[in-house]
Every structure is written in C-alpha cells, then in structure tokens.
Amino acid sequence: MIELRNISKTFNAGSAAEIKALQDINLSIKEKEFVVVVGSNGSGKSTLLNLIAGSQKPDRGTIAFEGKYVTRLQEHRRSKWIARIFQNPLMGTAPELTVLENFRLASLRTKNKTLSIGTDAKFREVVREKISMLNLNLENKLDQLIGTLSGGQRQALTLMMAVMDDAKILLMDEPAAALDPKTSELLMALAQKVIDEFGLTAILVTHQVKDAARYGNRIIQMAEGGIKKDLTGESKAKLQLQDVYKWFE
C-alpha cells in the first residue's frame, strides 16, 4: 500500500540550524496494516507522516501508493488515498458548519465541489448510520454546529468522516494528545474499531507508550531520523508496556 525508498529530508540545509530529519529511510507498509510510530522529540516521526501526506516533500527518494509514484504529487491530489486526523481537535473540520454539512464535505474530498453541497434525506440517513457506529449518541446532533461539540466528540466524528469517501490510508498524528485520559482511551478504541471494520491501512504517531503497546499490529521506533526498531506479527503481539518504556531509557 505504501512504499518509501531512500527517503531523506533536511531542514535549513547548510546553516547553523540544519536538521537532518530523515536519513535514507526505507519502509514498506502492507494493505490493512496498522503501524504505530514512536520516538523521542526530533526523531523524525512527524516529518515521516508529513511526507506521506504530501504536506512536505523529500529531498531525495521516492514514495508510492499501490504502486503509483506520488513523490511530487500535491497534498490535495493524494486525498483519493489519504484521510488525516490531527492533534488539534479544531483542525480537520469546519466549525461554522453543521455535523451533516461537514460529512458532506468529507464525502466530496476527491470530487468537484459545487455551490450546493446536497444534504438530502438519503445522505442524512447514510451519515446517521455511520455515526451510530460510534455509540456516542452523536447521530442525533446532525444539525448542530460541529464547533460547539467537545474535542473528543469532534475527533470521533473526524474518524467517521475519514471513511466517507473511500480513503484507504488513515494518518493519525497524536490524535488523543489534547484529550483527557478517559476520552483519549475511548477515541483510540474507536480508531481501532474503524480501522478494522473498514479495512484501512493506518499509521499512528504517538508519545503515549500505553497506546503504542496496545494498538496496531506493527510498531516502529524512530531515532535520529532513522528506523531503530521494527516489530510486527508475533513480536508486536507479545510486546509489553515495560518493553516499550525500556526503549527510551
């Protein structure tokens, strides 16, 4: 699904503030894999996610989705593959629009937009059905401005918006970092549910060690712009919380 070859990225090259964010990264991610990426600040986690999303471009190397090279493809042109959830619950939604209108925009991410965003009875029922999967009673708030909802509710809805337009890749950059512990735990459980039920290929960048140990079927530790550890299958399944803590000692 995702193929990175010889990827390097340097910021402020040639200056005293030069940062080699990524150095010769090679990474293959299979369809429906749920990859958790951990590492200290400055290890290259967010840069890796930004390069996959297209919000930044590599200095060297290639990126491919489903065998199609997208290395220089603009961010909005990668939306046929990618949905993204940010750390800030205020991002990824239009606060001045209703929940239903936000879902309509999400369903049109890869289509030409018109003045009418079309929220007829049939579409309303589709949205209600999808939101009801969250079991948060949010399907009864379709006409409420999404900006009036809590951060946790907005992040949960963003998860469902990710599957409104056949996206195949879900990128999550610290999606629960701004939430309280209880809401954070709920959101991550919902993310796992959505990923499993819709067969998404997912990448989660997180500082939460407990989430890194609990979620996903593959874990990658990054350090100094490279991949230090890469565990999958049985090795990931057997990983304990204390094992991940030891990586940062």
Task: Report pTM.
Answer: 0.89
pLDDT tens across 90-121, in order? 887 899 999 999 998 888 765 554 545 566 88
Unique residue bearing structure tokens 């029922």 = 125
| pLDDT at 132 (0 to 100) | 92
User: What percentage of the chain has pLDDT greater than the value 90?
Assistant: 60
Torsion of CA 168, 237, 244, 219, to 10 degrees: -30
The dihedral of CA 118, 124, 129, 133: what is its sign? Answer: positive
Cα–Cα distance, 11 to 4 (Å, whole number): 19
CATH number at residue 22: 3.40.50.300
Q: Is residue 119 part of a domain?
A: yes
- Report the DSSP pairing between strands 226-232 and 218-223: antiparallel
Q: Which of 127, 162, 197 is the last residue of a domain?
A: 162
* Residue 146: pLDDT over 90: yes
- End residue of a domain, out of 162, 177, 197: 162
Q: What pLDDT does 117 receive?
A: 53
- 3-class DSSP state of 50: helix
| Domain hosting residue 108, numbered range | 98-162
The answer to whether the beta carbons of residues 176 and 155 sit under 8 Å apart is yes
- 142 and 201 in a single domain? The answer is no
Please check whether residue 193 lies inside any domain of the structure. yes
The pLDDT, as a whole number, for residue 115 is 43
Cβ-count burial 165-195 (b if 16+ within 10 Å, e if not)? bebbbbbbbbbbebbeeebbbbbbebbbebb
**How high is the mean pLDDT of the chain?**
90
Task: Kindly state whether residues 150 and 172 are assigned to the same domain.
Answer: no
My answer on whether 6 and 75 are in the same domain is yes
Domain stops at, among 162, 190, 206: 162
The count of structural domains within the chain is: 2
**Above 80 in pLDDT, residue 42?**
yes
| 212-219 mean pLDDT | 93
Beta strands in the chain (DSSP E): 2-11, 19-29, 34-39, 60-65, 68-69, 82-85, 169-173, 201-205, 218-223, 226-232
